[in-house]
Structure 1
Amino acid sequence: MSDALRLVDITEDQLEAVRQIRMAAFGPMGARDRDEWLKFAAKFVADGRYLGVADGDDIVAAARICAFHQWWGGRRVPMAGVAGVVVSPEYRGRGVGSLLMRAVLRRSVENSFPLTALYPATTVIYRHLGYEFGGGRYRFSFPAADLRTLGGKEVELRRAGPDDAQLFLDIVGRLHATRRSSGPLVWPVDEVAAWLAAEDNFAFAADDGFVVYNWSGEDLSVDELIAGSEQTARALWATVGSGSSVATSVHAHISPGDPVHLLAGQEADKKAEVQRWMLRLLDAQAAIAARGFAPGAVLEADLRVEDPDVPENAGDWHLSVADGSGRLTRTQSGGEAVRLGPRGLAGLYAGTPLSVLRTAGLASGGSTAADATIDTAFAGSTPYMLDYF
């Protein structure tokens, strides 16, 4: 690596150079997309959330940090979403990506994010930096004609628009808390309003649910559908399915445990698509305190964490769980501590059973007799996201 390489905060006049690297990584960008991308990227520059690597005066790598909240165990946890990680082709394989990502981790820690997540183009670099798979983004396809027959005609639906953004957030928040969801993102109200204002989207609301969908070629695609009752779920899915006179299939980004899997007469197409995303803890103490845990679970366990890239996480900890909440406190070294690196800690946080982590070499030590109690505390529905970033 060149001695001239240095970490920088990307400035607006450097965005065109970043765009050129991005096209080398992800393909060409049209003029209209170019203008939209530059406008979008400038927001990250203004907030100090666009980092880069420069060789002399030339930008050779860049990444941006999205300020999200993410549901974990039915509670919202601040999360740094890492996106747009690009390295100029001639600098790949020379440690530039690792240099950049370590700066991203440090900036995210400084901005008080307990968690970070990303969709990996390759897992090798991110695992080396402590990320591990946390969940997936699932797309299932159903016959439109089958959904059309689900009923729910007694439920009153209305067209929804930008003024309903806060209502949508309130419905989502209430239902994710009740279901103890893990993984979905929480978007700012202005972003939700812009989504509902898009002329290509069709949005309908009920008192306890909503749907946003659009055309995808000759099929229909559901961005989000959430319902708090059987009849509302039936009504919303039937509304989407009402396009079956033209559409053969309805593609939907939903969780593997969505009620539609139990309502639909025919199972989803077996060719379901899954994009896996990775998770990392940046502040283990804050991440545990913010997360929801299984109601009724009672746990006292010692952990020993090794984390060379975020040393604040390293050391001996005592984990307590009760009444759906968790607490991590510093403690003295214990011989029965479960030993975890950052990948194992991320896997545990996401609900991966300790037996699996042990078999993968990501956990060791402690008493295996206590593994089931620890698993129960972190257990819940399959972590999933609806959005790609």
Structure 2
Amino acid sequence: MTDVEIRPITPDDDFDAQLDLGQRAFGVYSTQQKEGWLRVARLRASEGLFLGAFAGGVPAGAAMLHDMRQYWLGNPVDCAGVASVKVAPEHRGMGIGRQLMTELLGLIADRGYPLSALYPATVPIYRSLGWELAGAKHEFTIAARSLRELQPPDPQAATESQQTPRITRATPDDVSRVINAIGRSHLAARDAGPITWDEGPARQWLERPDLYAYLAAGVEEGDGFAAYRWAGGDTRELWVERVHATTPQALRALWSVIASNASVTRTVRGWTAPGDPFWWLTAERDATISRRAMWMLRVVDVPAAIAARGFPPGVSASVPMRTNDWARPANAGRWLLTVADGKGTMIPNGSLSSPDPLTLGPRGIAALYAGVSVATLHMSGLASGGTPEAGAQLDAAFAATPFMVDDF
């Protein structure tokens, strides 16, 4: 086997060769996809977030990282998004993918990210390095005509404000306002799983010529944001990229902008959350979940990830734990996990008095962080030990239904 060198891809590298590698792995890109990928790849290379594997000087594999914030119960946590992981067909089965991902995990830790997330093309390699299935993207489908009239507020429960938010077009120059609006909505909803980007890729996204984006401003700037495009380039199907709002009025106003296209389109689709208000806004029940795409999570720095995560304010917990993590030895040890006032802490050596603490490997840690119940962890072989009382405390503290609406 030819010796493999794994190193950062720099702006001076051959990006056409990297593009060819991507097309051999994932299929032929459209002209727009090529241009978008090259912009992002050059940006990540300039940031030192693009790793390549080279066999005899020839590209044999690559993977890149995205600098993101992932929201957990409303708290933004720094997260490295793993993307574009690929190995050339002629070099598959030689361990290059594992070498590449091992180096990438080290880079993630060196950059100080407590978390990492990815969408797997195949699961085993990522599980072997500590990632675990954590949440999903949910694709909804609804007949456009069903959006023409949104369900009005219940007069027995809600008082509808007379203030109508101001809707304006969002341009690339509004990138900071867009990021702020998205982040505010996740904070307000205490969401688990969704991400926000840094300004570089967010601006590139807003620069797409086929994207139609809008901001809502009511009492405050950044009350909401929505974006959509025509799927396939025609008007038969409308794809909702995202709808975010911090007030009921902004939410209805933004959905009304999308619904105004119902006279020319037949179907509306997009990614959403299982508990998104959208499901309670539609007048009929013909909106369906048509597809689900799972994503994986890796807790790279356990104490930092716990400290950054949000927890339910009314829940308290004090649970002895033991963790193992051969790939990140600093995560291994005995701990006392405490949760109070919406915050969590991992205290080292905190479970020495417990004869049989809950024991987790990196996959179990990731699943627990994402809200998987302790009983499920036990049944799936991701946990051992602990007491029923400890399990109940952890279930209440980590309860979440993680989702994403972004591709990366």
Give the distance between the partners of 1:190 and 1:124, measured in 2 at CA: 32
The one-letter amino acid of 1:93's match is: G
1:263 matches 2:281: yes
1:356 matches 2:376: yes
Q: Per-residue deviation at 1:268?
A: 4.5
Q: Per-residue deviation at 1:243?
A: 1.1
Q: Aligned in 2, Cα 1:88/1:193: closer, same or farther, shift over 3 Å?
A: closer
Deviations 1:310-335 (A, max 9, x none): 11111111111100000112116332
Q: Aligned in 2, Cα 1:184/1:60: closer, same or farther, shift over 3 Å?
A: same
CA contact (8 A) 1:144 1:250 kept: yes
Q: Per-residue deviation at 1:30?
A: 5.0
Which of 157, 175, 179 aligns to 1:169? It is 179
Deviations 1:9-35 (A, max 9, x none): 223324333222211111123566445
The one-letter amino acid of 2:177's match is: L
Deviant stretches of 4+, over 6 Å: 151-154
What is the Cα-based RMSD across aligned positions, in Å? 2.0
CA contact (8 A) 1:75 1:291 kept: yes
Q: Aligned in 2, Cα 1:268/1:185: closer, same or farther, shift over 3 Å?
A: farther
Deviations 1:224-251 (A, max 9, x none): 1122233332222222111111111211
Q: Tell me the residue number matched to 1:155.
A: 164
Give the distance between the partners of 1:194 and 1:158, measured in 2 at CA: 22
Give the distance between the partners of 2:48 and 2:225, measured in 1 at CA: 35
Give the distance between the partners of 1:49 and 1:254, measured in 2 at CA: 29
Q: Per-residue deviation at 1:108?
A: 0.5
Q: Could you state the TM-score of these two structures normalised by the residue count of structure 1?
A: 0.93
Give the distance between the partners of 2:184 and 2:307, measured in 1 at CA: 20
Q: Tell me the residue number matched to 2:5.
A: 6
CA contact (8 A) 1:161 1:193 kept: no
Q: Tell me the residue number matched to 1:254.
A: 272
3-state SS of 2:313 partner: coil
Give the distance between the partners of 1:59 and 1:215, measured in 2 at CA: 36
Q: Per-residue deviation at 1:170?
A: 2.5
Q: Aligned in 2, Cα 1:213/1:34: closer, same or farther, shift over 3 Å?
A: closer
Q: Tell me the residue number matched to 1:222.
A: 240
Q: Aligned in 2, Cα 1:95/1:346: closer, same or farther, shift over 3 Å?
A: same
Structure 2 spans left out of the alignment, 5+ residues: 153-161
3-state SS of 1:339 partner: strand
The one-letter amino acid of 1:257's match is: G
* Mean CA deviation greater in 155-164 or 310-319: 155-164
How many pairs were matched up?
387
Q: Tell me the residue number matched to 1:276.
A: 294
Give the distance between the partners of 1:151 and 1:263, measured in 2 at CA: 5
CA contact (8 A) 2:138 2:289 kept: no
Q: Could you state the TM-score of these two structures normalised by the residue count of structure 2?
A: 0.89
3-state SS of 1:352 partner: coil
3-state SS of 1:159 partner: strand
Deviations 1:94-152 (A, max 9, x none): 21111110000001100001011100000111111111111111110122122111278
Structure 1 spans left out of the alignment, 5+ residues: none
Q: Per-residue deviation at 1:168?
A: 2.7
CA contact (8 A) 1:145 1:248 kept: yes
Q: Tell me the residue number matched to 2:407.
A: 388
1:209 matches 2:224: yes
Give the distance between the partners of 1:156 and 1:292, measured in 2 at CA: 30
Give the distance between the partners of 1:141 and 1:157, measured in 2 at CA: 28
